[in-house]
Amino acid sequence: MSLLRFRLAYRNLFHDRLRFIATIVGIVFSIVLVTVQAGLYVGFRRMVTTMIDHSPADLWIMPAGTKCFEDPSLLDDRQRFRALAIDGVVEATPLVIGYAQWRLPSGTTTPVFIVGSELQGFGLRPWNLIGGRVEDLSIPAAVAIDQSYFERLGINATGANAEIRDQRVEVAAVTKGIRSFTTTPYVFAGVDRARAYTGIPANKASYFLVRVSRDADAGKVRRQLRESLTDVEVLTAAEFRNRSRNFWLFGTGAGAALFAGALLGLIVGTVIVAQTLYASTKDHLSEFATLRAIGSSGTYIYMVIVWQALLSAIIGFCGAAAISWIVAAMTADSALAVVVTPAMTLALFVLTGAMCVASAVAAIVKVMRIDPAMVLAR
Amino acid sequence: MSEPVIDAAGVVKFLGHGAGRVQALRGVNLSLAGGELVLLMGPSGSGKTTLLSIMGCLMTPSEGTLRVCGRNITDLDPEALAGIRRDHIGFVFQSYHLFPTLTAEDNVRLALDVRGERSQRKAAREVLAMVGLGHKTRSFPSELSGGEQQRVAIARAIVGKPSAILADEPTGALDTENGKAIMTLLADIARDPSRGVLVVTHDPRILPFASRIVHIEDGRLVREELGAAKSVAKA
């Protein structure tokens, strides 16, 4: 690579500092916008499947037509017994979910989302405990909540009391970072308590979590479950995860909004960089014509412009990445975190470079039309 | 005299389109040989710059042929023409056309860089020393006088050792003293029998440096005369 070409590029770029700063601000704004949208998307993806991600189930048995984890319909316990009768099914434990009203000691109520599962053995139990133990949930009326909802639920420590469906509950365990994207607090309890809090009959459940024997063929077990059970669906964790994501991201329009925001950021960034490069190229047109007159190839000149674009991209991206990481840190404990991963950062770097190079097209087209004889006319 | 480094034969050039189309050159024959400094003189609008553009491969003729170092370049595409300029022609412009953001040395290096040549720094410094600017290699154009800037432009034109140097009003923006210094440099370059120098000018002060003077009017060469430097060039 020619260092002189690079030097010409960066000096052209820095020559007009005000314009350069405007370009960098534009790129930073654009990339931060894209990062935030992409980060929200990733955070959203994680959040809508957090329960599925933390479940040990190989297979999920659910009522036919279930759209996502939070879609409460009921299965009959007989289905569970049929499932257990199939070779290869080691366990099929009930999981109960549902909305309920949490009554604060002050008398006011707030909706909560109950998650009830077997507390010993195979089940969906709370994780990231920072207070109490899972075993503590075995005592009567014990529940676990996330510390981020303390204020909403009128709780300040383990041992605090409230009511759900006119039944006393005691916070026996506290988790950290188990937040619901619907903003309705999760309340973990044993499966029987969960039935009591949601009004679900004792012979009903929302899901059956299936553990398949290590020796068994999971695909075959799944086929047999589908044949044996009626009005249910049997999904792997990955399939259920995808279904939940598709429902929340695309079925509700939330994903489209995030994509639209990211796309807007990209368009704004591309236009800003394109405008700057075009103006810069126009300012230096006689220099490019001189280069052409002294015999430079078209590629040589295009590379000067592309270097200008890439330099803008690198500098702009560094600023944007720093701001994005700060945003990610600030929102880590919020209802909807902006999640910035190293892979996403790398992808955004490539995207920024591509955006800036694409922005160079207008400038390159301008240079392609340059008449080297113009240097003689001046 | 050496073989022509540039040879234009029967060159016709139309400029513009439609109603605005004009014939700038009407069958021009002109050759530039190594070891000579040719002045191309004529009034404004006579076709001087158009002829210089064609002889410098910045334009192609509408009719006629142009040979550079024996190669017919009449039908070459713009990229191939750039290659011919890169390898055989150096330009000196009236307004210098230096890159304001690069030092004198880097401006000269550019001519080598576009050729993909290495060891540019040493060559650039040698040529700058040759034109008397060895002490200003790190100066930017804005820090140089007009005469110094034109010397940098000459250094850029000759650093690639081209066969022809084409100069467009090289003294047009300079005072007498600087103009004389620049023409002395160009005349020195033309002493090399492998290089020819073609200068387009209005400036009568540079007549003493010419080995040949060609007059153009209305797109035709109307008169040619030997210059005062003829004997020097031959020597």
Say how far apart CA B137 and CA B141 lie, in whole Å: 10
Say how far apart CA A292 and CA B1 lie, in whole Å: 31
Separation of CA A152 from chain center: 24
CA distances from A17 to A114, A164, A315, A340 (A): 58, 63, 14, 31
Say how far apart CA A88 and CA B21 lie, in whole Å: 89
Chain A environment of B52 (Cβ under 8 Å)? 376
ipTM of the complex, rounded to two decimals: 0.89
pLDDT at B235: 32
B231 CA to chain A: closest CA distance, Å? 31
Domain count, chain A: 2
Chain B environment of A373 (Cβ under 8 Å)? 53, 58-59
pLDDT at A377: 64
Chain B environment of A291 (Cβ under 8 Å)? 110, 114
The residue out of A230, A265, A293 marking a domain boundary is A230
A40 CA to chain B: closest CA distance, Å? 43
Residue A244 lies in a domain: no
Residues 6+ apart with CB under 8 A from A367: A281, A285, A288, A298, A301, A302, A305
Residues A197 and A166 in one domain: yes
Share of residues in chain A with pLDDT > 90 (%): 41
All domains in chain B, ordered by first residue: 35-47+85-234 (3.40.50.300)
Q: CA angle at residue A111 from A110 to A117, to 5 degrees?
A: 130
pLDDT at A122: 87
Contact call for residues A277 and A357 (beta carbons, < 8 A): no
Say how far apart CA A340 and CA A324 lie, in whole Å: 7
CB contact under 8 A, A297 and B82: yes
Separation of CA A151 from chain center: 25
3-state helix/strand/coil string of chain A: CCHHHHHHHHHHHHHCHHHHHHHHHHHHHHHHHHHHHHHHHHHHHHHHCHHHHCCCCCEEEEECCCCCCCCCCCEEHHHHHHHHCCCCEEEEEEEEEEEEEEECCCCCEEEEEEEEECCCCCCCCCCCEEECCHHHHHCCCEEEEEHHHHHHHCCCCCCCEEEECCEEEEEEEEECCCCCCCCCCEEEEEHHHHHHHHCCCCCEECEEEEEECCCCCHHHHHHHHHHHCCCEEEEEHHHHHHHHHHHHHHHCCHHHHHHHHHHHHHHHHHHHHHHHHHHHHHHCHHHHHHHHHCCCCHHHHHHHHHHHHHHHHHHHHHHHHHHHHHHHHHHCCCCCCCCCCHHHHHHHHHHHHHHHHHHHHHHHHHHHCCCHHHHHCC
Q: CA angle at residue B96 from A312 to A309, to 5 degrees?
A: 10
Q: Parallel, antiparallel, or unpaired: how do β-strands B212-217 and A186-190 relate?
A: unpaired
Residue A243 lies in a domain: no
CB of A300 less than 8 A from some CB of B: yes
Using CA coordinates, name the residue in chain B closest to A288: B99
Say how far apart CA A376 and CA B54 lie, in whole Å: 11
A255 CA to chain B: closest CA distance, Å? 47
What's the rounded mean pLDDT across residues A296-302?
90
| pLDDT tens by residue, A10-65 | 888 888 888 888 888 888 888 888 888 888 888 888 888 999 999 999 999 999 99
Residue A248 lies in a domain: no
Contact call for residues A102 and A163 (beta carbons, < 8 A): yes
pLDDT at B232: 41
DSSP annotation of B2 reads P
Residue A155 lies in domain:
65-230
Residue A311 lies in a domain: yes
pLDDT mean across residues, chain A: 88
A16 CA to chain B: closest CA distance, Å? 11
CB of A304 less than 8 A from some CB of B: no
Q: Smallest Cα–Cα separation from B62: which of B5, B10, B7, B6?
A: B10
Chain B environment of A280 (Cβ under 8 Å)? none
Residues A29 and A101 in one domain: no
B168 CA to chain A: closest CA distance, Å? 7
Residues A209 and A269 in one domain: no
CB contact under 8 A, A287 and B83: no
Residue A50 in tokens:
């957090």
Residues A190 and A90 in one domain: yes
CB of A343 less than 8 A from some CB of B: no
Residues A195 and A302 in one domain: no
CB contact under 8 A, B93 and A378: yes
Strand partners, A188: A115, A144
Say how far apart CA B124 and CA B105 lie, in whole Å: 6
Partner-chain residue, chosen from B56, B93, B101, that has the shortest CB–CB distance to A15: B101
Residues A21 and A154 in one domain: no
Residues A183 and A96 in one domain: yes
Partner-chain residue, chosen from A11, A12, A377, that has the shortest CB–CB distance to B49: A377
Q: What is the mean pLDDT of each run of 10 residues along chain B (235 residues)?
A: 84 89 93 94 91 93 94 91 94 90 94 86 91 92 92 92 92 83 89 92 88 94 82 39
CB contact under 8 A, A7 and B87: no
Residue of A11, A303, A376, A378 to mutate, interface with B, max B Cβ within 10 Å: A376
CB contact under 8 A, B99 and A7: no
pLDDT at B231: 44
Residues A160 and A258 in one domain: no
| pLDDT tens by residue, A178-201 | 888 778 999 999 999 999 999 999
Partner-chain residue, chosen from A8, A11, A296, that has the shortest CB–CB distance to B82: A296
Using CA coordinates, name the residue in chain B closest to A3: B113
Strand partners, A101: A111
Residues A190 and A258 in one domain: no
Say how far apart CA A80 and CA B182 lie, in whole Å: 100
Using CA coordinates, name the residue in chain A closest to B89: A294
Partner-chain residue, chosen from B87, B91, B116, that has the shortest CB–CB distance to A293: B91
Residues A259 and A304 in one domain: yes
Q: Any alpha helices (H) in chain B, and if so which ranges?
A: 48-55, 78-88, 104-113, 120-130, 146-158, 176-190, 230-234
Helix orientation angle between A218-228 and A77-84, rounded to the nearest 10 degrees: 140
Q: How many CA atoms lie within 13 A of B62 on its CB side?
A: 15
Residue A18 lies in a domain: yes
Residues A207 and A268 in one domain: no
B229 CA to chain A: closest CA distance, Å? 26
Say how far apart CA A317 and CA A306 lie, in whole Å: 16
Q: pLDDT at residue A277 above 80?
A: no
Residue A149 lies in a domain: yes
Chain B environment of A2 (Cβ under 8 Å)? 113, 116
Q: How many CB pairs under 8 A join A and B?
A: 86
Chain B environment of A288 (Cβ under 8 Å)? none
Chain A environment of B110 (Cβ under 8 Å)? 4, 8, 291, 294
Q: CA angle at residue A216 from A232 to A65, to 5 degrees?
A: 15
Residue B225 in tokens:
């005369």
Residues A212 and A269 in one domain: no
Chain A environment of B89 (Cβ under 8 Å)? 295
Strand partners, A175: A129, A146
| pLDDT tens by residue, A67-80 | 999 887 899 999 99
CB of A294 less than 8 A from some CB of B: yes
How would you class B162 by CB atoms within 10 Å of its CB: exposed for 0-12, middle for 13-18, buried for 19 or more? Answer: buried
Q: pLDDT-based confidence at A266, cuts 50/70/90?
A: confident
Residue A53 lies in a domain: no
Q: pLDDT-based confidence at A1, cuts 50/70/90?
A: low
Contact call for residues A132 and A172 (beta carbons, < 8 A): yes
Chain A environment of B94 (Cβ under 8 Å)? 378
Residue A97 in tokens:
């979910």
Q: pLDDT-based confidence at A356, cuts 50/70/90?
A: confident
CB contact under 8 A, B113 and A2: yes
CB contact under 8 A, B106 and A7: yes
Chain A environment of B58 (Cβ under 8 Å)? 293, 371-373, 375-376
Residues 6+ apart with CB under 8 A from A131: A147, A157, A158, A173, A174
**Which residue is associated with the tokens 């009921």?**
A74
